[in-house]
Amino acid sequence: MSPAQKRACLHHTAIKHATLKQHRVERTLSSRPTVVKRVAVKRVVYRGGQRHIVTSYRKVNFRPEHLSPGRAYGLHDGLPQALALRSQEALVVDENTAEVLYDKQSSMVRPIASISKLMTAMVSLDAHIPLTQTMEVTADDRDYEKGTGSRLSVGSRLNRADMLHIALMASENRAAAALSRYYPGGRPAFIAAMNRKARELGMNDTHFNDPTGLSSQNVSSARDLVKMIKAAYQYPLIREFSTDKSYDVNTGRKNLHYVSTDHLVGHPGWQIGLQKTGFINEAGQCLVMQAVVHGRPVIIVLLDSTGRYSRFADAARVRQWLLDGGGSAALRTAGNQPAATTTQVANVQRAL
């Protein structure tokens, strides 16, 4: 286990046992109303040599708005909220001067979900493989960890540029998985290259376990993500593809229309040079971007927000705050976690 993974476990294990708040978490979870939802379950069957999709329906119980581990274990209780952000970790940096304008828990190591795809894109482009290369989605690109679906069915064929485009703009997981599989040496070599590039960029809090971000073992800190965004911004294709509002692809079977997962792209008043969204339950709602606000290029990192649109509202709050002259020393910091002690890390290692 890498040091970054150990630090991530520290925030989900050591703090849990140190604060003895598990009983409160259980009460919170159990008090949420259970909702009965009717969901469709599709499966493929073959009859007489013909392929058919059979749809059945079943009722499931669920509790909306799943708590991330950081919220469930009270990691953020009592922190000052200078901007009243719903994101539990946030960092705003002047891109030109590297001045920290706003800092909230920026050293916390946590899952980063599909923000990982920025590193996936850089490693793919660093390989200098022709973007015209045709790639086919196979069963190896399916999500066997969380069971999420995809609009790219097995057998879909796209060129490398299109795969990269929809992975960045629409966060298409199978496209990212296919990019890693077509890397020289296959997916294991690709993931090794992701971690190698993270070390080269000085991202010491970061570890990658898969190319999509579906794995909760893909972890980083807001401070490290600023370094990754700066590096990714140097790639013209990443800037172009991540900030496209919509894109059409032909899979060889049908045409698919994709739209950006970032609702701020193309929004009046926003000048976004690069962006990426992310979400899994363990990470919460995440958003990173490079944007120009009032003539000043800034990097904004927002992690572990709740509610589908709250990360975009947080970004709007940050933008307005900057327009109003925010960034003074009095408002710059909204709480930071102290570094893990050797004893705490050892406790986490024993717990694992």
Catalytic center residues: 114, 117, 171
Q: What is the largest CA-CA distance in the chain?
A: 73
Environment class of 272 (CB within 10 Å of its CB; exposed 0-12, middle 13-18, buried 19+):
buried
What's the full length of the chain, in residues? 352
Mark 315-329 as b/e (b = at least 16 C-beta within 10 Å): bebbbebbeeebbee
Give the number of other CB atoms < 10 A from CB of residue 307. 13
* Six token digits for residue 329: 């020393």
Q: What torsion do the CA atoms of 139, 164, 152, 286 make, to the nearest 10 degrees?
A: 100
Question: What 3-state DSSP class applies to 24?
Answer: helix
Question: What 3-state DSSP class applies to 260?
Answer: coil
- Per the DSSP assignment, residues forming a β-bridge with 259 are 246
Question: What 3-state DSSP class applies to 248?
Answer: strand
Q: At 46, phi and psi to the nearest 5?
A: -120, 125
